[in-house]
Amino acid sequence: MLDPLVPRRIAVSTVLAAVAGGWGAFRQRPGPALAFAAVFAVAGLVIFALLAHFGLSAMMLPFAGGFLLVGPAVLAGFFGLRRAGAAGRRPGFADVLAGFRQAPRGLWVLSGVCSLLLLIWLTDAATVYSFMIGADTPGLAQVARFHAWTSLMGAVLAFIVFNVTAFSVPLLFDGRAHLVGAVTASVRGVFGNFGAMMVWALILAAATIATILVPPLLLVSLPGLAFASDLLYLQVFPPARG
């Protein structure tokens, strides 16, 4: 029987405690988490290098911000790692694969929707780039205007995805709800704890910007925040049996 998904109220301190707990969980099992995060760190460096090579450095921020849209799709692997450690097992990369094998169909559907939104976002950002910068060598003012407009556009999509996926991904992963129920519960969980969840959203956004400035930071920020996301979910939607 599926759980009655009534979100608990949390404070900002709960979010901060989840971040600290996520960092602690990462420190307990850095090897496999680093290996999994390295896949995305390397992919990001390759994308950034290609953008710089073709003179499209201004597009780095939209590409990096786009990870907020598809990031939920990779959480299953990190959930598998943290759950293995919490169960007293020594986590390994096999637990990453097990996390994806455990993912139900609804989670893959949600990941597909996020990927579609990423394509829409990048297409829109490229269109704005062509109008505001084009083939010219952009000045600082042009780049600033481009980033201002695209950040505003991206914030709308990111807010939608955040509401839909903040809790639906772990709820689907644990089999506690079907797709529609998980999404509905996620939206209720976010709006029922709006202040605290906006702090969590700002932490995610700040981490994304930091990885643009220092790309290797993704190696630690991605697993740490993924583990924190799992812990935060367990505070808002604690399992029915403790």
pLDDT tens, residue by residue, 13-25: 999 999 999 999 8
CB 69 within 8 A of CB 121: yes
Other beta carbons less than 10 A from residue 158's beta carbon = 21
Burial of 95: CB neighbours in 10 Å, binned 0-12, 13-18, 19+: buried
Mean pLDDT of 196-213: 87
Burial pattern 187-203, b for ≥16 Cβ within 10 A else e, equals bbbbebbeebbebbbeb
The pLDDT of residue 90 is 81
Per-residue confidence band for 163, with pLDDT thresholds at 50, 70 and 90: very high
**pLDDT higher than 90, residue 228:** yes
Q: What is the pLDDT of residues 132-156, one digit of tens each?
A: 887 667 678 888 888 888 888 888 8
pLDDT in tens, 92-102: 888 888 888 88
CB atoms inside a 10 Å sphere around CB 174? 19
Would you say residue 1 has pLDDT above 60? no
Answer for the pair 158, 68: CB distance below 8 angstroms, yes or no.
yes
Mean predicted confidence (pLDDT) in 162-167:
92
> 108 pLDDT exceeds 60?
yes
Give the Cα separation of 165 and 160 in Å (integer). Answer: 9
Tokens standing for 15? 């979010």
10 Å Cβ neighbour count for 43? 12
Residue 180: pLDDT band by 50, 70, 90 thresholds? Answer: very high
What is the average pLDDT score of the chain?
A: 86
Task: Give the Cα separation of 143 and 133 in Å (integer).
Answer: 8
Q: In this predicted model, which residue has the larger pLDDT, 242 or 184?
A: 184
d(CA 195, CA 10): 9
Angle between helix axes 105-132 and 60-70 (nearest 10 degrees) is 160
CB distance 67 to 225 below 8 Å:
no
Q: So what's the pLDDT on residue 242?
A: 45
Phi first, then psi: give them for residue 91, nearest 5 degrees: -70, 145
What pTM was estimated for this model as a whole? 0.84
Q: How many residues does the chain have?
A: 242
pLDDT tier, 241 (very low <50, low <70, confident <90, very high otherwise): low
